[in-house]
Amino acid sequence: MAYRSSTNESLPVRIVLIVVAVLILSLFLLLPLAAVFIEAFRNGYDVFIAALTDPVAMSAIKLTLFAAAIAVPLNTIFGVSAAWIVTKFRFKGRSFLLAMIDLPFAVSPVIAGLVFVLLFGARGWFGPWLGEHNLKIIFAVPGIALATTFVTFPFVARELIPLMETQGSDQEEAAVTLGARGWTIFWRVTLPNIKWGLLYGVLLCNARAMGEFGAVSVVSGHIRNKTNTLPLHIEILFNEYHSSAAFACAALLALLALVTMAIKSLVEHFTGHQAGGAAK
Amino acid sequence: MKRSSFLSLALATVALVAIPACKPKAVAAGSGTRLLNVSYDPTREFYEAVNVAFKKKWAADGKGEINIEQSHGGSGKQARGVIDGLEADVVTLALAGDIDVIAKEAKLLPADWQSKLPQNSSPYTSTIVFVVRKGNPKGIKDWSDLIKDGTQVITPNPKTSGGARWNYLAAWAWANKEYGGDEAKTLDYITKLFKNVPVLDAGARGSTTTFAERKIGDVLLAWENEAFLTKKQFPGETEIVYPSLSILAEPPVAVVEENAKKHGTAELAKAYLEFLYTDEAQDLAGQNFYRPRNEKIAAKYSNELPSIPLVTVDKDFGGWAKAQKAHFDDGGTFDKIYSRGK
């Protein structure tokens, strides 16, 4: 063996541990995934295609992509700025900012949704003003984009902060001594150092944005062709006894996740098995 | 350096708030006038059929193309949505109480909305029946069988579901009659009944899925139309049992006047609801296992939808406002059965 084992557990212990891990993985991850795809194709390929090309499903897919297209760039900008500020500087309220970034992870999505109803609902804080200006947020597309953005807020920042923390600001400081200015340093020094970590964060953010159910369900209003995202559409189909169609859409969503994971693995491969490491 | 990063953070924050907010109609596209019908759970199939027929008629009358949007969910939840700004042009909910709340809390329609259309603004009625497994293995025949040990009853949560409130009142009416109006004994019966409920879903459709698809429970308390639909969707798996006494459920419809005014759909919304009283829509109601109000058309479906003794909310519970307060509001009898401990 090329490597010496770093642990000294006996063989039976190792076998038991491996078996337990494989068992749990199969039960909780592989089996449900397989079930989704089997159910989706149970009534044949035609049913699968028909379920996805149905106009209601198409509009749900479009809305899901649209919400992700708003949430992901916003959170990318936010994530990079927040990670930059938190790791390159020491200032008052820094740990408070760090805690705030984690907030969307900590609160239940349902509460996130309800908070938006409380703020922007017809009887919410800003409801009367929005009503007067004929702006609709809740039970309309902006609310869905907003809820999605909120829930996926921390992904990019959380990915970058540890990475930038370990990198320190030596290179930036060197750049300053050579006369570089803010943006130049960001584009030529910082960004190249974090790009794989950033990509990884963006991918995770995107996967979650497309899959979000709870917060979006609260602010959606469930209007067909209008405010139904793909996850909500799956629930409706299931409730209407269109099981195969529901699983067809679920399979599409799972597929999107799998593609994301595949790209993620590729990214890891390129970074030499470091989770978004500094090596190019 | 410090300044520019602060700047980008500020920019990101502004963008986060501003961009989604300025795009209110990003995905809204399509042609013609829109009408949003916010309805309760089991009406999906019925309104799907009604919308097709109404659109055809509206176009044939030379009034142009229209687009009818549907939203479905537990009746109470839907009412809550309309109050919070879900801009329904018409509501077609499970019980008058839910529309009363919209009128009271959000003032989107007048308090006397129920007198605007014939027959209490209920173009179709229904009742509450039992759905049991094929062959009725537990021998469930009447309300008294529901509190037996080892019988699992599936019903949605009366706090969120209209159907569940009808279920609850039907059970209450039977027990009240059975125990000669003794309220303590009636409450005791209801407590025992809910002790047998393993899952409280938020809406009627959720309960049906729990019973029929996930195969939980021995008996489902359901809308009559939902019971027939289950029989159709899961052929040979369920049977319908009519109890000795049930309740006349009048799901009402109303134009949400303030919203319709705002959208310029007042005329369309009114015509849409009036269409529900036409022979064509009444027949569709019958086909979807609702009891048509039109007696001639109701007669056509009397074999499928047999007449059984029915109590009414108005006569036996003093109207929805009173029933809601006594049973379902905070501190009502439903809260009592849970505070008494399971």
In a domain, residue B27? The reply is no
Q: Give pLDDT < 70 ranges for chain A.
A: 1-7, 271-280
* Structural domain includes residue B5: no
* Minimal Cβ distance to B24: which of A124, A136, A240: A136
Nearest to B92 by CA among B327, B285, B239, B241: B285
B134 and B242 housed in the same domain: yes
Shared domain for B243 and B272, answered yes or no, is no
Mean pLDDT of B164-191: 93
With pLDDT > 90 as the criterion, what percentage of chain B qualifies?
69
Q: How many domains is chain B partitioned into structurally?
A: 2
Q: What is the pLDDT of residue A7?
A: 67
pLDDT in tens, B197-252: 998 988 888 899 999 988 999 999 999 999 998 998 888 999 999 999 999 999 99
Residues B176 and B241 occupy one common structural domain: yes
Residue B84 domain-assigned?
Answer: yes
DSSP A99-128: HHHHHHHHS-HHHHHHHHHHHHSTTSSSHH
Could you tell me if residue B320 is inside a domain? Answer: yes
Which residues lie across from B222 on neighbouring strands?
B129
Report the CATH number of the A44-270 domain.
1.10.3720.10
Give the helix, strand, coil percentages of chain B, each rounded to 5.
50, 15, 35
Mean pLDDT, rounded, for B277-292: 95
**Segment (H or E) for B138:** none
Cα dist. B6→A155, A179, B119 in Å?
20, 20, 64
Same domain, B133 and B63: no
Q: What average pLDDT is seen over chain B?
A: 87
Q: Are residues B332 and B187 in the same domain?
A: yes
CB count in 10 Å sphere of residue B7: 12
Would you call A88 and B12 a contact, using CB atoms and an 8 Å cutoff?
no
Answer whether residue B10 is part of any domain.
Answer: no
- Is residue B168, in this structure, part of any structural domain at all? yes
Interchain CB distance below 8 Å, B23 and A141: yes
Instruction: For residues B146 and B217, state if they share a domain.
Output: yes
Percent of chain B with pLDDT strictly greater than 70: 90
pLDDT recorded at residue B296? 93
The residue of chain A nearest to residue B106, with distances taken between CA atoms, is A123
A222 at interface of B, judged by CB pairs closer than 8 A: yes
| Whether residue B66 is found in the same domain as residue B100 | yes
Of A63, A117, A225, the CB nearest to B69: A225
Q: Domain with B107 in it: what CATH number?
A: 3.40.190.10
**Residues B169, B180: one domain?**
yes
b/e map of B285-301 (b: 16 or more CB within 10 Å)?
Answer: bbebbbbbbbeebbeeb
Contact across the interface for B20 and A181, Cβ inside 8 Å = no
Q: Which domain holds residue B294?
A: 33-125+250-300
Reported as a single tens digit per residue, the pLDDT across B66-119 is: 999 999 988 888 999 999 999 999 999 988 989 999 999 999 999 999 999 999
Q: Are residues B214 and B331 in the same domain?
A: yes
pLDDT of residue B83: 93
A240 and chain B in contact, CB less than 8 A: yes
Q: At what angle do helices A55-88 and A230-239 cross, to 10 degrees?
A: 140
Interface size between A and B, measured as CB pairs under 8 A: 123
With beta carbons less than 8 A apart as the criterion, state whether A223 and B71 touch: yes
Q: Is residue B14 scored above 70 in pLDDT?
A: no
Query: Rounded to a whole number, what is the distance in angstroms from the first to the last CA of chain B?
Result: 64
Domain boundaries of chain A, sorted by first residue: 11-40, 44-270
Neighbours of B341 (CB within 10 A): 7
For residue B14, is it within any domain? Answer: no
Whether residue A127 and residue B85 make contact (CB cut-off 8 A), yes or no, is: yes
Residues 6+ apart with CB under 8 A from B294: B277, B279, B282
Whether B157 maps to a domain, the answer reads: yes
Helix (H) or strand (E) holding B310: strand B310-311
Do B189 and B254 lie in a common domain? no
Structure confidence at residue B135 (pLDDT)? 93
Q: Which residues of A touch B80 (CB under 8 A)?
A: none
